[in-house]
Amino acid sequence: MTSRRIPTTLIAVAMAGAVPGAAHAVRIDYTIDAGYEHDDNVTLSAEDPIEQDIARVGFGFALEQASSTVQASMVGRVDHRRYEDVYGNLTDRMFEGRLNWMVVPDRLALVVEDSYGVQTINRTAPGSPDNRQQVNVLSVGPDLHFGFGPARRGVAELRYINSDAEVTEEFNSDRVLAALRILQELDATRTLSWNVQGQQVDFDNDEFARDHRRYEAFVGYRHLFRRFDMTVDAGYAYLDYEDGQTRGDPLLRAAFGWEPTERSRFSVALANQFSDAAVNALDQIDTASGVPASVLTGNTTITAYAYEQRSVGVDYTYTGTRLTASLNGTAQELDYVDETASGEESRGGGATLRYRLRPTLVLSGSAYTNRSEFGAPEGRTETDRLYAIGLAKEWSRHWSSNLSVTRYERRSSATVGDFEQNVVYLNLTYRNR
């Protein structure tokens, strides 16, 4: 495995604590857990499933830093599994983080973003342990802030972006992104922005991918009401390939949120834009959910090809004293610019429920289904269903345990066949807070 990107990730973490004055405001939460897992189909095989008892140990952390000099938000986790046989010992790792270091107050900042995690090698095959790879996308560069008055300000951004996959080497690239943004505060609740940006994409292996430039120009509008908020970007995007091909399309991104009560929230997100796997990795960085409970295998297709993304997502959450519930649904279509790449369409939805039976005892359940259709050359349809139920017990302020049962089903139109998997997992966790 290529590990040259890992030190850069560690540097980003170290910077948050090394900047003068940062140590006084940093908060670090972490968990250490160990457990036992029984898997009745560890290879996710349609025929002759293999049962395994697996010993697991993990470490996760969440770091927050908020000062006038440094703003940082980082989460990470390491999961180690020891199988009886078949796979031996495996270690999965993930890290997501953003760091903004104001080198010159109100003028010059250094910005670092990193997305490092596990993805499938073959997107259309089951995510078994032999179909995983580590993927890293790093973005680093300066922000130059300037002002036109008390209500109007600007920022010029320059980024170097590197994408690196352990196995899918055609994904590897070096990029340079430059952007200019002007933000106008209309009043205390409304902000208007003008944005122009361009990106040069240079792939390591030109035999599999085409170097190109991506240009975007859009107007952004943000409005915050007492119980309603909205963010809209509208403009135009253009792809310019070195072999002469060009493609342009309207750009639209919108997000709406509504809180009818203090405990309920509805949200809707829409998108019509150009993207690719590397850009998507940086866009999906999420550090708001605290210490990661596990290292999940992502479902992004790791390729070098750019695509037009059309998507819609809806979500509802309810947060009560004892009951927490959520419902969500998504629909997405990826239209790849390169004819050799397979287009994708997916639709899915899910629900989660957590109920506090007692002050120290929580029952949880979830259900999720997703249907994905892949065009030529794969020409196949996959339907995934995941059901889970869990019981968590808090023994003290720092110690807790959790028992979970998970069932995963896949129905496939391909000759690989259908399969089911049942997993039982019992663990003990220590939290520092």
Structure token digits, residue 147: 């002002």
**Domains of the chain, with CATH numbers?**
6-431 (2.40.170)
For residues 238-252, average pLDDT:
94
Structure-token match 């890290």, residue found: 95
* Residues 308, 341 contacting (CB under 8 angstroms): no
Q: With 50 as the cut, is the pLDDT of residue 11 above it?
A: no
150 Cβ contact partners less than 8 Å away, ≥ 6 residues apart? none
Q: With 50 as the cut, is the pLDDT of residue 3 above it?
A: no
| pLDDT (tens digit per residue) in 30-78 | 999 999 999 999 999 888 899 999 999 999 999 999 988 999 999 999 9
Residue 311 and residue 346: Cα distance in Å, rounded? 9
* Residues 38, 424 contacting (CB under 8 angstroms): yes
Helix count (H) and strand count (E) of the chain? 2, 21
Which pLDDT value is given to residue 332? 96
Coil, strand or helix at 148: coil
* Residues 419, 44 contacting (CB under 8 angstroms): yes
Secondary structure E strands in 259-398: 264-275, 297-298, 307-319, 323-336, 344-358, 361-374, 380-394
Q: Is 47 exposed, middle or buried (0-12, 13-18, 19+ CB in 10 A)?
A: exposed
DSSP per-residue codes, 212-258: EEEEEEEEEEEEE-SSEEEEEEEEEEEEEETTS-EEEEEEEEEEEEE
DSSP per-residue codes, 258-293: E-SSSSEEEEEEEEEEEE-HHHHHHHT---TT-S-S
Structure token digits, residue 320: 């009560």
| pLDDT (tens digit per residue) in 349-363 | 999 999 999 999 999
Structure-token match 């029984």, residue found: 38
Backbone angles phi, psi at 170, to 5 degrees: -65, -15
Q: With 80 as the cut, is the pLDDT of residue 294 above it?
A: yes
Backbone angles phi, psi at 281, to 5 degrees: -60, -45
- Closest to 112 (Cα-Cα) out of 103, 102, 99, 101: 99
Give the chain's largest Cα–Cα span: 70
Backbone angles phi, psi at 50, to 5 degrees: -110, 125
DSSP letter assigned to residue 343 = P
Residues facing residue 20 across a β-bridge: none
* Residues 281, 137 contacting (CB under 8 angstroms): yes
Q: What's the whole-model pTM score?
A: 0.90
Which pLDDT value is given to residue 280? 93
| Mean pLDDT for all residues in the chain | 91
Percent of the chain scoring above 70 in pLDDT: 93
Which pLDDT value is given to residue 2? 41
Which pLDDT value is given to residue 4? 42
Which pLDDT value is given to residue 340? 72
For residues 85-109, average pLDDT:
93
* Residues 335, 308 contacting (CB under 8 angstroms): yes
Q: With 80 as the cut, is the pLDDT of residue 18 above it?
A: no
Q: With 90 as the cut, is the pLDDT of residue 374 above it?
A: no
pLDDT band of 206, cuts 50, 70, 90? confident
First to last CA, the chain: 35
